[in-house]
Amino acid sequence: MSESKFRAAVIGLGRMGSTFDDEIEQGGQFFMPYCHAPTYTASPQTDLISGADPHAEQGEIFADRWGLERGQIYADYREMLEAERPEFVSICTTARLRAQIMIDAINAGVKAIWAEKPFTLSLAEADEVIELGNRNGVAIAVNCSRRYNVFFNQARRMVDEGELGEILQITAYAQCNLSHNGSHSIDAMRYLAAGDVEWVFGEMESDEKAAGEEDLMGNGYMAFDNGARGFLRGTPTGAAPWEFDLIGTEGRVRTLAQGMEAQYYRWVPGGLRDQGLPARAPFPLPTQIPSSGLSVIEDLVDCIETGRQPRCSGEDGRKALEIAIALRESHRRGGRRVDLPLADRSLRILSVEIREDALPARVRRMQQNQGAG
């Protein structure tokens, strides 16, 4: 590990950049610190040295909270990159600007990028950022946070060590717009199934939505190259909120209710006609439970030193987006199997989070509360 601390800056000083952890009161899906500024502050490997946001009030709140001088806050992130020369940069702005900011950060010479999801809006943007990042040796981690969650890590460890036998099925019930939180659900399916998707079939929430570029809900079937099959329900899931079900020949892991519970089942002798029984066993926790955010930093520091790709890489971010777009293409083509990769790189999904992004989410929320009051 490096001796000195890395200089870290946050671009986009709102909810994910600064305050998200305030909303979390129960462990399971997240372990604190999780979002960007709290993580840089807590990590022994980073110093939070700067922030950038075009909204002055966002910068003031951020500076007060994280103990920065006003001189460390910039309205223009390009000025910040130039003046502060950060080694780590977090991209916590609206997704509309993410690709451009990542390109500017890479060109400014950063060592590592920690990007919020979705990675980009279009496949072409993703291609450009990944190519530029690789050429400049910049490690890019996408914050599809389940890859840095202990229950998902343990499930994947069980897959890698053969405890679940051959992986057959990954099912996700995860109501989501396919770019916005779909980037989480699709990435988590890929992570757990430990394979790449070769083709998909998808049904979107409506023909009108499928024909447009706005973010949308949908369901899909996925064929993985290792033989596993996936089913994603991204349309409303009612009493089954955010659930992942990983089924193998010898065992099964289910993570339920937004990660609040994880279950482990082993295939044991016995049962009707001696065909075997799925017996519930204690879920194997590791001896330490790491913070989600600090795990990302550890991962990126190791990537800087070794040159390997992060656990949730730019490539993973691109694949989640490409699968989402392919599911929509399947619907657009009248319900047809669609092979990956997609030839048309201009395809894009306008992640729902870019709606109304002229105003910070904090301000929109205050206005909504006033309207409701």
Partner 1 sequence: MSESTYRAAVIGLGRMGSTFDDEIKQGGQFFMPYCHAPTYAASPHTELVAGADPHAEQGAIFAERWGLEDRQIYADYREMLEAERPDFVSMCTTARLRAAIMIDAINAGVKAIWAEKPFTLSLAEADEVIELAASKGVAIAVNCSRRYNVFFTEARRMVEEGDLGELLQITAYTQCNLSSNGSHAIDTMCYLVGGDVEWVFGEMESDEKADADEDLMGNGYMAFDNGVRGFLRGTPTGAAPWEFDLIGTEGRVRSLAQGMETQYYRWVPGGPRGRNLPARAPFPLPTTVPAMGPAVIEDLVQCIDSGAPPRCSDEDGRKALEIAIAMRESHRQGGRRIDLPLPDRSLRLLSSEIAQDAVPARIRRLKGRWP
Distance separating alpha carbons of residues 265 and 136, to the nearest angstrom: 45
Stretch that binds partner 1, among 90-98, 168-176, 295-303, 360-368 (CB under 8 A): 168-176
Instruction: Pick the binder of partner 1 from 25, 69, 161, 344 (CB under 8 A).
Output: 25
* Residue written as token pair 């291609």: 127
Instruction: Pick the binder of partner 1 from 247, 320, 321, 349 (CB under 8 A).
Output: 247
Cβ closest to partner 1, residue 118 vs residue 230: 230
Are 205 and 235 within 8 A, CB to CB?
yes
Residues 6+ apart with CB under 8 A from 274: none
Cis amide bond preceding 269, omega within 30: no
Instruction: Pick the binder of partner 1 from 22, 23, 64, 305 (CB under 8 A).
Output: 23
Encoded one letter per residue, x for contact with partner 1 by CB under 8 A and - for no contact, window 74-113 reads ----------------------------------------
Cβ closest to partner 1, residue 108 vs residue 168: 168
- 219 belongs to the binding site for partner 1 (CB under 8 A): yes
Closest C-alpha to 49, from 81, 19, 24, 23:
81
- 168 belongs to the binding site for partner 1 (CB under 8 A): yes
Instruction: Pick the binder of partner 1 from 5, 78, 209, 337 (CB under 8 A).
Output: 337
Enumerate residues 29-68 that contact partner 1 by CB under 8 A: 29
Determine if residue 242 is left, alpha or beta; phi over 0 gives left, psi from -120 to 50 gives alpha, anything else beta: left
Distance separating alpha carbons of residues 77 and 55, to the nearest angstrom: 12
3-state DSSP call for residue 42?
helix
- CA angle, corner 200, sides to 340 and 156, nearest 5? 90
Q: Determine how many CB atoms are found less than 10 A away from the CB of residue 285.
A: 11
> How many residues lie near partner 1 (CB under 8 A)?
53
Cβ closest to partner 1, residue 249 vs residue 368: 249
Enumerate residues 268-327 that contact partner 1 by CB under 8 A: 271-273, 275-278
- 252 belongs to the binding site for partner 1 (CB under 8 A): yes
Instruction: Pick the binder of partner 1 from 221, 283, 362, 364 (CB under 8 A).
Output: 221
To partner 1, the closest distance from the beta carbon of 244 in angstroms equals 13
Distance separating alpha carbons of residues 41 and 25, to the nearest angstrom: 20
- 236 belongs to the binding site for partner 1 (CB under 8 A): yes
Pairing relation of β-strands 277-281 and 338-339? unpaired
To partner 1, the closest distance from the beta carbon of 302 in angstroms equals 31
Buried b (16+ CB within 10 A) or exposed e, 319-337: bbbbbbbbbbbbbbeeeee
Instruction: Pick the binder of partner 1 from 1, 3, 26, 373 (CB under 8 A).
Output: 26
Per-residue DSSP letter, 93: S
Instruction: Pick the binder of partner 1 from 41, 78, 124, 199 (CB under 8 A).
Output: 199
Cβ closest to partner 1, residue 26 vs residue 370: 26
Per-residue DSSP letter, 16: I
The residue type found at 343 is A
Cβ closest to partner 1, residue 11 vs residue 200: 200
Which strand ranges, in their side-by-side order, compose the sheet holding 251-256?
Answer: 277-281, 261-268, 251-256, 243-248, 167-173, 229-233, 218-224, 197-204, 338-339
Interface residues with partner 1 (CB under 8 A)? Answer: 23-26, 29, 164-166, 168-169, 171, 173, 199, 201, 203, 219, 221, 223, 229, 231, 233, 235-241, 245, 247-252, 256-258, 260, 265-267, 271-273, 275-278, 334-337
